Amino acid sequence: MLTKNQIYEAIVTDYTAEGQGVAHVEGCAVFLPNAVAGERVRLRIEKAQKTWAAGKIVEILEKSPHRVNRECPVAKLCGGCDFWHMDYEEETRLKAQRVKTCLNRLAGESLTDVPILAAPDCHGYRNKAQYPVAAKEGRAYAGFFRAGTHDVVENRRCLILPEETDAVKDAVMDYVNQFRISVYDEATHKGLLRHIYVRRGAVSGQILVCLVCNGEKLPKVEALLSRLQKIPGFTTLVLSVNTKKGNAVLGERFVTLFGPGYIEDTLCGLTFRLSPRSFYQVNHHQAQRLYETAIALAGITKNDTVLDLYCGVGTITLAMASSAGKVIGVEVIPQAVEDAKDNAKRNGIENAEFFCGDAGQAALELERSGVRPDVVVVDPPRKGLNADTIEALSRMAPRRIVYVSCDPATLARDVAMLKQRGYALQSATAADLFPKCAHVETVVCLCRKEIRS
Ligand code: SAH
């Protein structure tokens, strides 16, 4: 076991899933924030366990050519991004490498390379922000949580957000400070405003502002609206009531205070209605490329029935509808299903059906009722597929399964299970939807072995 506070010298060889550097000291893995692979560093042990330790770089002895000066002034404090200290070449290399390693180690593949769809722009790409608020010495401010804490790091201008989004935050905080609106304190469970949630359509420019409150009423709404209406694109103001303790940002209840309560955006040539509760990929340009890749991999023909599990507002489902005979989407959030149904209508799509429910259970029910999709698309949250979904997939035996994933480790675990049930991995592509952040998306195509089309 290494000793706390002791200084060691080591070489950074790899990265964790969270984007920290990994170095080895006396056979023990040491995790180092703000490290770049290939660097020789002096490090201090902050926390020592039997098989691993957490450390901090105290001096860089040999600097990587990929290290860059941080453009974001709060990058070191803010828990929002992970990679302002390295260039984009290294960032995309490590993301592609992570996908490859997961598939090779956990799914028994022997891929030599996984291509990555790199983002053309790392700035201003995020179409959604959730700012927690806090107060100190009588002044309220908003920002993002410091990594691993609930301390709010104030941030005037977040470089991965569009300027309009930060302008909304500033307008809300101006109103909060002028009218002495109380801000939520986790420790006492008192105070009104918890989070400022902003979603902006990358193409439409429409802005939805949702204030998450520990209460039912927002005072002086007119004064808030007069500030928000100065921001180009401001479309709707919604109150989300969250009176529960805990980490969930949004509450269960939504009250529309101004406008329609949703915004619209265009993606893959279709128009989508987006409610606050509905999932929508945060990087418009890269999401479109990801979906285009998924659609190409699906190899759909006009006679095919396509089942899209975890469909959200029906983005992938509806983008596939014109090439398919029929598309069916399944999603657990009722508001998202309402959006999806409305989106089908809005785009004049008549061969789409949507069901609200758990993906695995709905898929099993569809299978029992005789539905035999030719292609299944799955796009689950980080935890991946559950046993029901895997079971339903193997019973339905679609020709192809296109798996869109936001966690390469659970993806690889699920690919291994699908391989045991008669599927083979045909291709894997990583996509960078979150420049400067450690998350990476992947899309893979699995084919049923007897058919291999
Ligand atoms: N394919 C969509 C959404 C992907 S995000 C898009 O790209 O826009 C994953 C979606 O799965 C979310 O909308 C989430 O609400 C939904 N979800 C989470 N758990 C689920 C479950 N058990 N069953 C069905 N849907 C689920």
User: Has this prediction a pTM greater than 0.85?
Assistant: yes
Our answer on whether the CB atom of 315 is closer than 6 Å to any ligand 1 atom is: yes
Give 359-372 pLDDT, tens digit per residue.
999 999 999 999 99
> What is the Å distance from ligand 1's center to 380 Cα?
5
Confidence of residue 325 (pLDDT cuts 50, 70, 90): very high
Q: Is it the case that residue 453 has pLDDT exceeding 70?
A: no
For ligand 1, pick from 249, 250, 288, 310 the residue to mutate: most ligand atoms within 8 Å of CB: 310
Give 282-308 pLDDT, tens digit per residue.
999 999 999 999 999 999 999 999 999
Q: Is it the case that residue 148 has pLDDT exceeding 90?
A: no
- Only one residue has tokens 């600097």, namely 63
Q: H helices of 299-355, where?
A: 315-321, 334-346
Our answer on whether the CB atom of 332 is closer than 6 Å to any ligand 1 atom is: yes
86 forms beta bridges with: 67
Q: Which atom of ligand 1 is nearest to the CA of 287?
A: 7
Our answer on whether the CB atom of 54 is closer than 6 Å to any ligand 1 atom is: no
| Rounded distance between C-alpha atoms, residue 357 and residue 309, angstroms | 10
Beta strands per DSSP E along 78-127: 116-117
Q: Is it the case that residue 451 has pLDDT exceeding 80?
A: no
Q: Is it the case that residue 450 has pLDDT exceeding 90?
A: no
Give 236-269 pLDDT, tens digit per residue.
999 999 999 999 999 999 999 999 999 999 999 9
Q: Which atom of ligand 1 is nearest to the CA of 377?
A: 1
* Amino acid code (one letter) for 144: F
pLDDT averaged over the chain?
Answer: 97
Our answer on whether the CB atom of 358 is closer than 6 Å to any ligand 1 atom is: yes
Check residue 244 and report its DSSP letter.
S
Question: Angle at CA 286, nearest 5°, toward 418 and 37?
Answer: 80
Give me the phi and psi of 262, to 5 degrees please.
-150, 170
Q: Is 450 exposed, middle or buried (0-12, 13-18, 19+ CB in 10 A)?
A: exposed
**In the predicted model, what is the mean pLDDT of residues 138-159?**
94
Our answer on whether the CB atom of 331 is closer than 6 Å to any ligand 1 atom is: yes
Do residues 359 and 389 lie in contact, with contact meaning Cβ atoms separated by under 8 Å? yes
> What is the Å distance from ligand 1's center to 312 Cα?
5
| Rounded distance between C-alpha atoms, residue 23 and residue 61, angstroms | 14
Give 327-351 pLDDT, tens digit per residue.
999 999 999 999 999 999 999 999 9
Our answer on whether the CB atom of 418 is closer than 6 Å to any ligand 1 atom is: no
Give 188-240 pLDDT, tens digit per residue.
999 999 999 999 999 999 999 999 999 999 999 999 999 999 999 999 999 99
For ligand 1, pick from 311, 339, 385, 439 the residue to mutate: most ligand atoms within 8 Å of CB: 311
Closest-CA residue, ligand 1 atom 13, reads 312
Q: Which atom of ligand 1 is nearest to the CA of 279?
A: 13
> What is the Å distance from ligand 1's center to 319 Cα?
16
| Rounded distance between C-alpha atoms, residue 249 and residue 198, angstroms | 12
Do residues 57 and 30 lie in contact, with contact meaning Cβ atoms separated by under 8 Å? no
Residue 54: CB atoms within 10 Å: 17
> What is the Å distance from ligand 1's center to 444 Cα?
17
Give 405-437 pLDDT, tens digit per residue.
999 999 999 999 999 999 999 999 999 999 999
Our answer on whether the CB atom of 316 is closer than 6 Å to any ligand 1 atom is: yes
Do residues 404 and 316 lie in contact, with contact meaning Cβ atoms separated by under 8 Å? yes
- Annotated catalytic residue, options 406, 437, 445, 447: 406
Measured in residues, the chain has a length of 453
Closest CA to 160 of 85, 67, 81, 234: 81
pLDDT exceeding 90 applies to what percent of the chain?
97
| Separation of CA 81 from chain center | 12
> What is the Å distance from ligand 1's center to 332 Cα?
7
> What is the Å distance from ligand 1's center to 115 Cα?
25
* pLDDT confidence of residue 368: 95
| Rounded distance between C-alpha atoms, residue 432 and residue 447, angstroms | 24
Our answer on whether the CB atom of 310 is closer than 6 Å to any ligand 1 atom is: yes
Q: Is 445 an active-site residue?
A: no
pLDDT exceeding 70 applies to what percent of the chain?
99
> What is the Å distance from ligand 1's center to 314 Cα?
10
